[in-house]
Structure 1
Amino acid sequence: MRKAAWIGTAMALALASQPALAQDAPVQDISGDSNPAPGDAASDEGINDIVITAQRRAESAQRAGIAIDVVAGDEVLTRGITQATDLGTIVPSLNVQAAGGANTSIFLRGVGNFTVNGYSDPATAFNYDGVYVGRPTSTSGVFYDLERVEVLKGPQGTLYGRNATAGAINILPARPELGAFSGFATVSYGNYDALNLQGALNVPIGASAAFRISGNLVERDGYLSDGSSDEETQALRAQFLAELTPELTVRIAGDYSHTGGMGIGSSYGGRYAFNFPTGAYSFVPSGLDRSTGLFDPASQAYRQTLFLGVSGRNAAPLDPDIYQDNDFYGLNAEVTWDTGIGTFTIIPAWRRASLDYKFGNPAFIGYIQEEDEQFSVEARLAGDRIGFLDYIVGLYYFDEQVEGDYTFAQQAINAYQEFESSTESWAAFGRLTANVTDRLRAVGGLRYTHDRKRFDGQADVFVVVCTVRNPFGVPSCPNVPLLPVTDDFTELQPPFIIPPPDQARPIGTTGAILTRPVTPVNSGFSNGEVTWRAGLEYDLAPRSLLYASVERGYRSGGFSLSAGRETYDPEYITAYTIGMKNRLLDNRLQFNLEAFWWDYSDQQIGRIGVDARGNQGQFSQNIGQSTIRGVEIETQFLPLPNTLLSADVQYLDSEYDSFVYTEPVSASGAPPLTGCPATLAGGVWTIDCSGFPAFNAPKWTVNLGVQQTIDIGRFQLIGSVDTQYKSERYVQVDFLPEELVQDSWTTNAQIMFGPSDESWHVAAFVRNIENERVLVNVPIYNAASSLQYITTAPRTYGVRIGYRF
């Protein structure tokens, strides 16, 4: 109660956040299944409603008894959101991390995982145009010409395609409009030579069909001195909508996007110096600025001071051949048929990704070649009310094939992985709503999911091991060559002699040997799970909703190409939520309150660690239990018709109740690099991180802002300021002091001028006024015990011109 009082006090003092979100017009009702309750329709004055389809029916976000944040399409445009990592600046519960190369890791209220390969499933479901996207590499190239973005918080175990423990992000493109010849075009230009072109054209075809084509071009120089952390994306989307009869509507859509450039970069934060006689680490800062990329000459010189303990020599310069050349394709359809018993919807979809990229932000080179292909189909019936009962029933099928060829070239260690992974999942689901009275509703949902997975792959790890030690016990092979970046281990040249599997060969007369531990994984599993949801909704008043729910979610297990970590089990979460949504003061004040308690068990953690053979690897494992609880309060207030104030405050209390794992002694003999207590017994380290908070889970997140409109005859001038505060938080699972990010503020401002009919506008903007490069990830290069910084963008500014008709 005391914490809730603190939040209430903060809310009373708050001004605003996300201004455009509140004043967007309601979106089109697309389901044909809307039964608005009193107070759903937006009034001519006050805060407008946004219609959502997160529960597979069209309804006001204020009438939905679920934990959800909605970002309107215009907000995506004006805030310059071009990729998933930008969403965290708007949604307080969301933290999105750039990972290796094209991968993105999404965390909701501390629930998430590092998805850095083609065989680990994300904890947050990413849905594009109603289609679940299986690979975390495929979340770029979709943030243009959108209707809205829906962020659902908590497990999605009844209505959505693949089960997700953290929540779901729904990206919903603007749909073709019947009978309207319309379109828009915007262009923005800013520092770092940033160019963003976006546009759409809607063409009617008679009275009952329409075609919409939209595109996006994003080009920007890198934020780091070596040119990395740049952006280069081209995207195109085409849709055809036909109302074949008053009851039958068909929409067909196709999309393509390409990602190029160097991709996300990093800088050297420092290194952990290991004292062999004492067995202790000490952190030594690099002295380099966070804007100095790894391929900058200063960074390359610094790199050559890093000691590769297992190889007994210093590191060599990093191979600068970094690039992205990734293509993404999609086809999907939506058939909606109003039958005599309800609205029947079927969504077949096909998606493909072709990945070819090299990244270097962990301070080693990852070379990824991957082909992903998925097919899915969902069929559901939103039934007409039978007596006092509303219902939705459906079936879902998902099939995914992934082929990967990876090289992780760390100079002292090269890991080569080749694999084929397949997932087949089907589900039957249903939700029943009992309208007990005109004001009270009871909701129950049930889903059975059956997953069948198969994985066939092999990891060949080559390690340069120095066998010579100096008088202090430090490995010393200063003349041993280091492993180059190659597509395949057969490309290694003398003096490297490729040893047979699980054997070693000397490397000339350097005193070092080349070992080759091999980990084959040829396995599969099949399992079924039941997930459920139970809830109550009560209309306190025409514009006030009280709701409560408990729901169960799970995420399937999987595979890793690391010895002793070849498989991991499913994880489970039970979420308790109680909340209320209110419109007060003649629709000028919106006040929403939510309290939540999440119990997490058999939790999966993806991490870089030491496998059973003592080699570094990337794997997932079940580490135990955690509890996540908190309160979120969101308000919007129109004290005057042209003044919008709003605030969103989240308090999050998270703790790992049980987080214990083991690691064998590494090839270098050094202890694990961790901020958690570690004990050694029988050649095995036991690391206990119990009691630490969840990573990517700041205790406090506060979004504030203000928007003011000034009418000037037929024109208007709109100024807005927003800011986000995040308290300290860990951003990696090792819980090292250097992985604890301190409190941060990020503030943005914009001024826009145009006619009142919004047919055109001219705007100037500045983002991250503080010019602080806030840490979002700190990968560790274990072979050299170095720490890298991946940060947010520095201060950016520019102008934008837009026209619509």
Structure 2
Amino acid sequence: MKIYSLRNSTCRFAILASVIASPVMFNPALAAAQDGPVSNAQSAPQQDDKARLDEIIVTAQRITENVQKAAVPIAVVSPDTLRKAGVVSPDNLTRLVPALTIASTGGSSMSLFLRGVGNFTLNSTFDSAIAFNYDNVYIPRTSATTGFFYDLERIEVLKGPQGTLYGRNATGGAINILPVKPKLSETSAFVNGSYGNYNSVTLEGALNLPTGDDGAVRISGNLSTRDGYLTDGTSDQDLKAVRFQIMQEIGPDLTVRLAADYSAIRGRGPGATYLESYQFNGAGYTETPSLLDPSIGLLDPRSQAYRRQFFVVPAGRFLNDLEAKQFINNDHYGVNAEINLRTGAGELTIIPSWRKSEQEANTSTLPFQNYNNTQDEHYSIEARFAGDRVGIFDYTLGGIYYHETQDELYVSNQQTLYAYTVYHLKTESLAAFARITANVTDTFRVVAGGRFTHDRKSSDNSFSDTVVIACTTLPTPCLNAPLFNLVPDASLLGISNLPPQGPGGIVPYIDGNGVPQPNVLIIRSPVTAINNSVKKDSFTWRAGVEFDAGPQSLLYATVETGFRVGGLQPVIGFESFQPEKITAYTIGSKNRFWGNRLQLNVEGFVWKYRDQQIAAVGVDGTGTTNFFVQNVGKSTSYGFEVDAQVAATRTTRIGANIQYLHAEYDRFKYDQAVAGPAAPFVGCPTTLGVNSGGNPVYSIDCSGKPSFNSPRWTFNANISQTIPLGSYQIVASADTQYRSSRWVGYDYISGMKQDSTWQSNAQLQFEPVDSSWFIAAYVRNIEDDRYKVNAVNSASSSLISVTTNAPRTYGVRAGVRF
């Protein structure tokens, strides 16, 4: 295995030539393989001899409609595709949706990017640019999104701002996770399981039972366990989840559904490896590759020996080993309901919800030790009314109230620096929205929509406390100077004369036994506290036209705006940040030809961002490595996407999806405090100056650089071939994805650039014609390439760590349904 190597290109192009189909907008139900419940996104295979594509029903625009009639850029992933691809968490979606990049960044955190828009890390102080919705309920923290990927009806990925129908911060897009609902008057069940290398075990099932003629209950569950992909046992999986739903038709016009779910995530969590180190040589920086295989985790003895080679300032000594106590201990649970009332004027839908997350994690992927303990609770209620047509007008009206409280303890141990941060945050949001469609003729429509949103974010004594070890004899080292261990409170650092919290101070180091440490100082920064609130009223809108060019051809053009609320953070020099805004222009065409045997969809887009928020590991106003968000300026993204799928024969399905993306920062400037004697190590021009407090800072200008995680070209392809064998059949399927080079780290350091990559997968499935059971063999990441998905620069240690994709995995799957 080798990081970002484009292995045997001839072999890859041979695979590509023989595998021409898309796993995203391609409907896997058309292949005769079916191993879960039939749903709207996945109708039963055709029983006649005609080759044709089936209908996919979505609710992305808060109404039920054929995806080919929905004038929005959308990718739909069916449950069959999810199971075949082994999707059990959001980061697995990257290989299925060309526009999407999701990566685990350590502990429970994930970074989400859609067409180059997103953040490298997410903490309590800010929100994702990609709204994540489960069962029509907004999930604010990506760390709480893992336990939903089972017994699903479909996943919808909306691209671009959702400024009128979605209530929270959807400047880049939205991911809608929709579970299978109870089926009235039906007794049914299914069980699917798999076993693979790395001792991977998955088990998924559901039971649907009627409660009379007008009601039903559905119980679903999921289990997924796996040994770590890395040699230190990290990047493992230990997930258990369960969901209960009950639905009742109370009368001919009223239906009520109640749902509750719980998920538990354990194990060691995501891991990383050392990519390289760097050193200032007087004129610039020299990068030296670590030469460690990407399978060698940071807690492996080989990585620990590598780490001990590096001298760090200001302590004036070599690093210690990372502490081998990485773990995840997360519990997520919630209750929600959906009430649908049919009236004489239209349909009213009310969705109340309550969710809570309790998360504890210790991680080392950055590459330093971090601990967090988080309590997140939120509730919301949404009401919308889809009115019957009045004259030429269709309309949707609605409103939503959202309330979230967050309490988090976050500890960062960089050995020479100890940072202790406490968050007490509250978010309230109230929004009203409307969308009106004027049916000017039978084939031409004009659409207008708007949303008014009032947001308030407040902080109640959130604060950050930082302690630094400093050697007074530099450049002569202090080789015996102590380094910090990870402890839950600064009082446990073993320092008898620690300056008081609040004002801070500088004192000689005296250990817990009262013994002075020669030439070593303890520096405690003044506490940064935030007791404040910010309010923002925003109006976003959408305008568009739609034209039915034929019975199965749609042309559309839209202009839409969106915003992401600003916020507060206890970070010196970056105590607040402003809202992010976007204007998006889209033109598209959706078509079916050849008697429903060929589908061709084309979309062109231009996205313009202002005050764009970027969240990553950086250096704050004191020169301390920290997590925070900045408004970096403006960016422009434009490109096109073409999706095609073909029912070549009754048993052959082929498709392809290609995306071209040009994403660039028009203005990307920020300041970074001086953390040492040299300029910061970044791949952008720097200028030395002073900040408002008179302290030296470097102005960094990355304007003109490509947006992060924005490959210029992305190509997905797959094929499914059914081979009849009397009362049985074999279904052979394969897919591949190509992504051109992209930046996967915040600092534009050369090692943070990932070269172009291929990844291919294949499966062979045997089943009866009625698909009542199946057995299959699979292999994923046939090339066994371990490419970079996230890179982090630790300025305190001059080390860069990376997380990588999963290695080659293989195994068997089986299932039965009743």
Same-fold status (TM-score > 0.5)? yes
Distance 1:295 1:726 in 2: 30
Give secondary structure in 1 for the equivalent of 2:774: strand
Cα distance, 1:676–1:245 mapped onto 2, change above 3 Å = same
Distance 2:586 2:160 in 1: 9
The answer to whether 1:600 aligns with 2:636 is no
Give secondary structure in 1 for the equivalent of 2:68: helix
Cα distance, 1:23 vs structure 2 = 4.1
CA contact (8 A) 2:265 2:330 kept: yes
CA contact (8 A) 2:499 2:505 kept: no
Which residue matches 1:404? 408
Distance 2:189 2:719 in 1: 29
CA contact (8 A) 1:444 1:535 kept: yes
Distance 2:418 2:453 in 1: 38
Give secondary structure in 1 for the equivalent of 2:762: strand
Answer 1 or 2: higher relative contact order, Cα 8 Å, separation at least 6: 2
CA contact (8 A) 2:25 2:76 kept: no
Which residue matches 1:559? 568
Cα distance, 1:27 vs structure 2 = 7.2
Distance 2:780 2:254 in 1: 46
Task: Give the letter aligned to residue 175 of structure 1.
Answer: K
CA contact (8 A) 1:101 1:263 kept: yes
Give secondary structure in 1 for the equivalent of 2:608: strand
Correspondence 1:392-541 to 2 at 5 A: 392-456=396-460, 457-470=462-475, 476-494=477-495, 497-500=498-501, 501-507=503-509, 508-517=516-525, 518-541=527-550
Give secondary structure in 1 for the equivalent of 2:480: coil
CA contact (8 A) 1:675 1:735 kept: yes
Cα distance, 1:564 vs structure 2 = 1.0
The answer to whether 1:695 aligns with 2:708 is yes
Give secondary structure in 2 for the equivalent of 1:674: coil
The answer to whether 1:740 aligns with 2:753 is yes
Cα distance, 1:560 vs structure 2 = 1.9
> Which range is displaced more, 345-354 or 19-28?
19-28
Cα distance, 1:179–1:255 mapped onto 2, change above 3 Å = same
Which residue matches 1:38? none
Cα distance, 1:469 vs structure 2 = 1.7
Cα distance, 1:98 vs structure 2 = 1.1
Task: Give the letter aligned to residue 478 of structure 1.
Answer: L
Which residue matches 1:35? none
Give secondary structure in 2 for the equivalent of 1:521: strand
Cα distance, 1:613–1:512 mapped onto 2, change above 3 Å = same
Give secondary structure in 1 for the equivalent of 2:305: helix
Which residue matches 2:351? 347
> Which range is displaced more, 696-705 or 511-520?
511-520
Give secondary structure in 2 for the equivalent of 1:704: strand
* TM-score (ref. length: structure 1): 0.95
Task: Give the letter aligned to residue 744 of structure 1.
Answer: T
Q: Deviations over 1:689-731 (max 9, x none)?
A: 0010001110000001111001111111000110000000001
Cα distance, 1:74–1:496 mapped onto 2, change above 3 Å = farther
Cα distance, 1:13–1:67 mapped onto 2, change above 3 Å = farther
Which residue matches 1:5? none
Distance 1:656 1:430 in 2: 33
Q: Deviations over 1:22-49 (max 9, x none)?
A: 142897679xxxxxxxxxxx99740111
Give secondary structure in 2 for the equivalent of 1:511: strand
Distance 1:211 1:498 in 2: 60
Cα distance, 1:543–1:402 mapped onto 2, change above 3 Å = same
Distance 1:268 1:14 in 2: 35
Which residue matches 1:571? 580
The answer to whether 1:57 aligns with 2:63 is yes
Backbone CA RMSD of aligned residues:
1.7
Task: Give the letter aligned to residue 644 of structure 1.
Answer: R
The answer to whether 1:123 aligns with 2:129 is yes
Task: Give the letter aligned to residue 292 of structure 1.
Answer: I
Distance 1:14 1:630 in 2: 25
Q: Deviations over 1:603-638 (max 9, x none)?
A: 011122221222221111111000000000000012
Give secondary structure in 2 for the equivalent of 1:85: helix
CA contact (8 A) 2:600 2:645 kept: yes
Correspondence 1:297-312 to 2 at 5 A: 297-312=301-316
CA contact (8 A) 1:255 1:331 kept: yes
CA contact (8 A) 2:50 2:650 kept: no
Unaligned runs of 5+ in 2: 1-15, 31-36, 42-47, 510-515, 691-695
Task: Give the letter aligned to residue 207 of structure 1.
Answer: D
Q: Deviations over 1:654-688 (max 9, x none)?
A: 1110001112212x333211000111134221110
Cα distance, 1:19 vs structure 2 = 7.6
Distance 1:306 1:115 in 2: 26
Could you list the runs of 4 or more consecutive aligned residues of structure 1 that deviate by over 3 angstroms after TM superposition? 11-14, 25-30, 42-45
Distance 1:681 1:21 in 2: 54
Distance 1:274 1:60 in 2: 59
Which residue matches 1:67? 73
Q: Deviations over 1:296-341 (max 9, x none)?
A: 1111111111221221111101010111110000100000000111
Distance 1:695 1:20 in 2: 25
Distance 1:216 1:693 in 2: 39
CA contact (8 A) 1:304 1:316 kept: yes
The answer to whether 1:148 aligns with 2:154 is yes
The answer to whether 1:679 aligns with 2:687 is yes
CA contact (8 A) 2:164 2:449 kept: yes
Cα distance, 1:618–1:180 mapped onto 2, change above 3 Å = same
Q: Deviations over 1:397-421 (max 9, x none)?
A: 0000000111011101111011200
CA contact (8 A) 2:122 2:128 kept: no
Task: Please point out which of 583, 590, 598 is paired with 1:589.
Answer: 598
Distance 1:466 1:644 in 2: 67
Correspondence 1:267-416 to 2 at 5 A: 267-275=273-281, 278=282, 280-416=284-420
> Which range is displaced more, 589-598 or 483-492?
483-492
CA contact (8 A) 2:747 2:793 kept: no
Distance 2:606 2:350 in 1: 35
Task: Please point out which of 776, 789, 792 is paired with 1:763.
Answer: 776
Q: Deviations over 1:317-368 (max 9, x none)?
A: 1010111110000100000000111000000000000011111111211101
Cα distance, 1:496 vs structure 2 = 6.3
Distance 1:584 1:159 in 2: 31
Give secondary structure in 1 for the equivalent of 2:27: helix
Which residue matches 1:715? 728
Cα distance, 1:483–1:563 mapped onto 2, change above 3 Å = same
Give secondary structure in 2 for the equivalent of 1:87: helix
What is the count of residue pairs matched by the alignment?
A: 777
Which residue matches 1:4? none
